[in-house]
Structures are given as C-alpha cells and as structure tokens.
Chains A and B, each alone.
Chain A
Amino acid sequence: QSVLTQPPSVSGAPGQRVTISCTGSSSDIGAGYDVHWYQHLSGTAPKLLIYRNTNRPSGVPDRFSGSKSGTSASLAITGLQPEDEGDYYCQSYDSSPSAAYVFGTGTKVTVL
C-alpha cells in the first residue's frame, strides 16, 4: 500500500510563506484522484483544510491554498500565524495494488 511522501518538518517566521509537498505515484495522485489536506493541532481533532486539491471549506482562512500537478500536490500557507503550528497531512486514494485511502507521512509546521 502506498504512502504519500511529505517533508517531516517546515518552519517559518510569522507572516512568512511556507509550502508542504505531497508526492505520490501513478496509482494514486497521478491516476487523477483528488488530494485533500488536514490540519491537526495539538489537543484537537484533525480538521479538513483543503478538499479536492484546491477548495477551502467554509471557515478556513484564505491564507491556506492547495494545488496539484502530475503525481504531486502542495499546500501553501501565506502569512503564517502562530496558531498554524501543528501537523499537516495530505490524503488521496490508491487504486493499485490494493484499493485504499492513503495518507501522507505528515509534516510538522513550526512557527518560529
């Protein structure tokens, strides 16, 4: 079963822009399956941040944006805020060899 690859950590000062990559393969992201992003802040339930590659649920600040190209996707946080510190996961679907939803390895965002 594939796992999507993310950098273990990224960091930035308040107000800066950070990006998190999510690398998959031809059986998941590259097969055309959507990528979703989740934010997991300490002590809270994971929360949907971006759905279907680029869309923000209502209530998610517009400093969060997503993109997808080929076998990869990215999450960008512009104007980084202290409350953005936490873990971020991408998620897609893997069609081969076993059909399953798959997650990224997770990225810890630190606000310096």
Chain B
Amino acid sequence: QLQMEESGPGLVKPSETLSLTCTVSGGSISSNNHYWGWIRQPPGKGLEWMGNMYYSGSTYYNPSLKGRVTISMDMSKNQFFLRLSSVTAADTAVYYCVSIDMVPDCFDPWGQGTLVTVSS
C-alpha cells in the first residue's frame, strides 16, 4: 500500500523559493504505472493541481503557475520534490503530494499535507 509523506519548511519569506519533499513508501517511484504530483489548497479555498512527474523525467505543470513550479525526483531515496519560486502570500496553502495511477488517472493516495505560510 503506497504511503506519501510531505516534509519541508512551514514558513517561507516572500520572493523566496518554497521547497518540499515527498517521501514514498510501500512502492517505487520508478514505477511505470504512476505519476507523482503536487496539489495545494489555500486556506478557505479549493484544491489546485500544480503538476506531475513521470519516472522517465517527463513533467506536466499547471499553466496557471506561469513557470514558477518545478518537480523533480531522487529515485535512490524514493522521493520527489516541489520547488515554487518567487512566492507571495497567495502561495500560502496546505501542500499535498499525491500518486496518480495512470489508469484510471486519478489522485490516490494523498499525503496528509503540510501547511506552508509565506510571510516575512
């Protein structure tokens, strides 16, 4: 059973880069049946898909993030990463890492989520 766990700083200053790690257990991120991705939820707002990565290195990002997002992975550690540059208060959110089963192409499972606050 796949399990996902997010980790990283809970506070980031405006204009800096937000960096989070997702550690996957119960399966390998080199699986050819899964993508690995990030979703966020600002306080009191809805869910926003940020992007996915495939073990081959292919990445797919939400165009609304205007090139600020980068997803990468370290297969030796079974981890993948999120970097979001030039953050503002609008990037304050709970960030979830997720696995995407290519069939049926839905998000399962999710990590517990980690709150990142952007503030000076």
Contact = CB atoms under 8 A, between A and B. Distances in A.
30 contacts: A1-B62, A1-B63, A36-B106, A38-B107, A38-B110, A44-B112, A45-B96, A46-B96, A46-B110, A47-B108, A47-B109, A48-B106, A48-B108, A51-B106, A51-B108, A55-B104, A57-B108, A89-B47, A91-B47, A91-B106, A98-B62, A99-B60, A100-B49, A100-B63, A101-B62, A101-B107, A102-B49, A103-B47, A104-B46, A106-B47
Interface residues on B, range: 10 to 19
Interface of A: 1, 3, 34, 36, 38, 44-48, 51-52, 55, 57, 89, 91, 93, 98-106
Interface of B: 46-49, 60, 62-64, 96, 104-113
Nearest to A6: B46
Contacts, number: 64
B109 A103 contact: no
